[in-house]
Amino acid sequence: MIKNTKKLKFPKGFLFGSATSAHQIEGHLNNDWARWEKIPGKISDGTTSELGADSWNKWREDIKLLKNTSQNAYRFSIEWSRIEPKEGFFDEGAIDHYDQIIDELIKNDITPMVTLFHFTCPLWLDDIGGVANRKFAKYFARFSGRMAKEFGDKVELWSVINEPSVYVNAGYIIGHWYPGKRNIIGGVKAFFHLVSAHKQAYSSMKKANPRVKVGIAMNMTAFEPVKKTWCNRALTRVAKWLVNEYSINLVRKNLDFLGINHYMSHKIQCKKPIMFDEGGAKSEYGWSVHPEGLYQVIMEARHWNLPVYITENGTADSSDRLRQTFIPDFLEKCSDAIADGADLRGYFYWSLIDNFEWASGYSMKFGLHTIDRKPRKSAEIYKKIIEQATGE
């Protein structure tokens, strides 16, 4: 069923795009995650990122997918391990590779948004502890500054670090992601190294090119009390503060925009169980599909008084049935939030193409396109909405 999308209103210049990350689509990588994937049992379907969508070679085809679906923006990441394969050595060939991608995007009127840390570290840094090493921030700031120097005239929007709290939670506390640690103190330290890395990158990037707009992609979950008792409301407040607000407050002074990655909504109550999923449809990951949650987090983000981009929002759905209504429903909430005063500037669907979904390998299919680059019906639906909104 295709929803009537006529009433969706977006301001001129609104970015409609999709998002990917280097490790999940490029293949042929030699970084910390690539090393970890080879250990049996780490990836649930036994796959590795080695080949995958092969975007390192097929990036021109990816740009065609964006173009064919009328998207005017693309969020992707530059892989640190390619740019700086040895400490202090910056590979001109790799810099040139990303330069070509950026040029091709601009030639096609597609606005690039670039991420510099999307969960992976070069091996030389991993060998001294990766994010857990106190020097992480210093190394990251040097790399980020260099990227702003190389690309700052062409790329304005930088969602520099992706989901610091998700990375730390999955890798250092729950431990099902690289580096597989279960150590709360270590996790807290790693988290503050990422906060410091963001701040130092903000300075080094601005110094290299004052034109760049430095943002972050923060995970924001929607929380609602089951019934509005004082206890449920108080607990909901705590959850919002802990999961969403605390991290953003820490970097607020070093942000030109806020990127929100939104995937989940939870109900909260004081009685057991304290937190549970919103009812309704569920993705193959088991994540609730609750469009109102996106509206809620966008409206909450007005608190920071920054331009906002939805840097990720998507659903794992191999049948594509859910995604066909997911996209119009979530975009409708974006349009409602704008009508209600939110400074929302863009929406990036996760993901352009099926890819390596970290510990789940290739079993979770988030793509508008299959891994062999065939469009799903939802890609057509997204295209229609974009064309209606941009008057194409």
Q: Using CB under 6 A as the criterion, which residues of the chain lie in contact with ligand FCB when the complex forms?
A: 21, 24, 162-163, 166, 261, 312, 350, 357-358, 366
Which residues, 6+ apart, have CB-to-CB distance to 39 below 8 Å? none
Query: Closest separation between CB of residue 162 and ligand FCB, Å?
Result: 5
Q: Which is nearer to ligand FCB, 21 or 265 (CB)?
A: 21
Bridge partners of residue 218, in order along the sequence: 260
**Shortest separation between residue 139's beta carbon and ligand FCB, angstroms:** 22
Residue number with CB closer to ligand FCB (150 or 278)? 278
Amino acid identity at 250: L
Q: Number of C-alpha atoms within 13 angstroms, CB side, residue 84?
A: 22
> Which of 152, 179 has the CB closer to ligand FCB?
179
Task: Please report, as a single letter, which amino acid is at residue 328.
Answer: P
Angstrom distance (rounded) from CA 370 to CA 21? 16
Smallest separation (angstroms) from ligand FCB to the CB of 219: 6
| Residue 5 or 261 with smaller CB distance to ligand FCB | 261
Residues contacting residue 19 through CB under 8 Å, at least 6 positions apart: 74, 75, 76, 311, 312, 348, 349, 350, 351, 352
Tell me which amino acid residue 42 is. Answer: K
The full DSSP string for 343-373 is -EEEEEEE-SB----GGGTTSS---SB-TT-
**Alpha-carbon span 383 to 49, nearest angstrom:** 29
Integer angstrom CA distances of residue 295 from 194, 234, 386: 28, 21, 19
Task: Kindly tell me which of 194 and 389 has the beta carbon lying closer to ligand FCB.
Answer: 194
Residue with smaller CB distance to ligand FCB, 264 or 338? 264
Integer Rg of the chain from CA: 20
Nearest distance in Å: CB 305, ligand FCB: 25
Smallest separation (angstroms) from ligand FCB to the CB of 263: 6
Report, in Å, the least distance between residue 366 CB and ligand FCB. Answer: 6
Q: Distance between alpha carbon 258 and the CA centroid of its chain, in Å? A: 12
* Residue whose CB is less far from ligand FCB, 84 or 312: 312
Q: Quickly count helices (H) and strands (E) in the chain.
A: 14, 11
Q: Which amino acid is at 177?
A: W
| Per-residue tokens: 268 | 């909260």
Q: What count of other Cβ atoms lies within 10 Å of the Cβ of residue 69?
A: 24
Q: Which is nearer to ligand FCB, 112 or 225 (CB)?
A: 112
Least separation in angstroms between CB 270 and ligand FCB:
28
> Cβ closer to ligand FCB: 338 or 364?
364
Least Cβ distance, residue 351 to ligand FCB (angstroms): 7
For the CB of residue 78, give the shortest distance to ligand FCB in the complex, in Å: 15
Distances (CA, A) of 178 to 35, 63, 114, 161, 174: 10, 30, 23, 17, 10
